[in-house]
Amino acid sequence: MADKIKWGILGTGKIAHKFTADLLLVQQAELTAVASRSIEKAARFGAEFHSAKYYGTYLELANDPEIDVVYIATPHVFHCENTLMCLKAGKSVLCEKPLGMNAREVGAMIREAKSSNLFLMEALWTRFIPATEKLI
């Protein structure tokens, strides 16, 4: 395994800013690239967080061979589309909640992740609170 997990960030909104600020505190993580529907927004976000690369399309980020995992922080209605795109490009995915808009979408994402042997998780931080861990 590589020394650091190389992350790509899909989306440049408020939640992506919060996530990325925390990601940079993790020694085993490296911000490799960011993508937005606007190259200007991607460039600003990339400069703020010292990203090596930035893209004006989500597909460019998904196809970047250096990225190990993608954090998806796009509007909810695009979570399924963006997650499937990243999984099909061979990337593991951490998707902001909700994972999908319905059970059909979530099922499709789970099937793709399993068939590709890739990690897929909803970014549900409460899952790792000690009290939650105890209940599970």
| Catalytic residue chosen out of the listed positions 18, 88, 97, 114 | 97
Handedness of CA 87, 90, 91, 92 (dihedral sign): positive
**Under 8 Å between Cβ of 46 and 54:** yes
Contacts of 1 (CB under 8 A, 6+ apart): none
Q: For this structure, is 97 an active site residue? A: yes
Residues marked active site are found at 97
